Amino acid sequence: MKHIISVLVENKFGVLSRVSGLFSGRGFNIETISIGPTLDPSISQMTIVTTGDERILEQIIKQLNKLIDVIKVTDFADKEFVEREMCLIKINAPLDLRSEALRIADIFRARVVDSTQKSYTFQLTGDEKKINAFVELLQPMGIKEIVRTGKVAITRD
């Protein structure tokens, strides 16, 4: 089962390595991980997407809490939350396909962030499903490159 875990950590060097080392050393999976600053510059926030049964998830959360640099761990499993991912996609866009590409982009509310005579680069934000659907529709045109941020999530009040 897939889980989203939010982790507040000290903003120190080596912390990412402690967290990723914990996952690799104990055989836990990381599907995606994204890290950014918080309002407090001494604290960073990580969003980790992982898989495992209930027992493994319990261990992951306990082991994360045990790391000295971890301040707070939030498991989103029993919470209402919003999750988003951002993705940049560069596709082949020769003359005959350009308008079709833009039509698809329009349906998904993707934005064109770069355009050359032969290619378009789109920016799309959404949940995983939406991004996967967009990628699927663009596939026949020839995707040159794709970069995804991994998920971020926030609880709903």
Partner 1 sequence: MSSKEITGAEILLECLKKEKVDTIFAYPGGVVLKIFDVLYEQKDIRYILPRHEQGAIHAADGYARSTGKVGVALVTSGPGATNTVTGIATAYMDSIPIVVFTGQVPTALIGNDAFQEADIVGITRPCTKYNFLVKDVKDLAQTVKEAFFIASTGRPGPVLIDLPRDVVTNKAEFHYPEKVKIRSYNPTVEGNKRQIKQAADAIAAAKKPVCYIGGGVILANAADQIKEFAEITKIPVTHTLMGIGGFPGTHPLSLGMLGMHGTYYANMSIHNSDLIIAIGARFDDRVTGKVEGFAPEAKIIHIDVDPTSIRKNVRVDIPVVGDVKHVMTELNKELRASKEPWDAIRKHWLKQIDAWREERPLSYEHDDEVIKPQFVIEKLYEVTGGDAIIVTDVGQHQMWAAQFYKYDKPRMWCTSGGLGTMGYGFPAAMGAKVAHPNKHVFSISGDGSIQMNIQELATCVENNIPVKVIILNNRYLGMVRQWQELFYQERYSSVDLGSVPDFVKVAEAYSAVGLRATKPEEVVPVLKEAMKINRMVFMDFVVARYEKVFPMVPAGAAIHEMIFGEEKKKEEKKLKVVK
- Structure-block tokens of residue 86: 């951002």
Q: How far is the CB of 73 from partner 1 (least distance, A)?
A: 11
- Cβ distance to partner 1 smaller for residue 6 or 121: 6
User: Rounded to the nearest whole angstrom, what is the least distance from the CB of residue 35 to partner 1 in the complex?
Assistant: 16
Q: What are the structure tokens assigned to 97, written together?
A: 């396909």
Dist. CA 85–CA 49, nearest whole Å: 12
**Cβ atoms within 10 Å, residue 75:** 15
Cα 46–Cα 49–Cα 54 angle in degrees, nearest 5: 115
Smaller CB distance to partner 1: residue 62 or 111?
62
SS3 94: coil
**Minimum distance between the CB of residue 69 and partner 1, rounded to whole angstroms?**
6
CB of 10 or CB of 100, closer to partner 1 = 10
The binding site for partner 1 (CB under 8 A) comprises: 9-10, 13-14, 17-18, 21, 25, 55, 58-59, 62-63, 65-66, 68-71
Min. distance of Cβ 48 from partner 1 in angstroms? 17
First and final C-alpha spacing in the chain = 25
Q: Is 9 exposed, middle or buried (0-12, 13-18, 19+ CB in 10 A)?
A: buried
- Comparing CB distances to partner 1, the nearer of 17 and 99 is 17
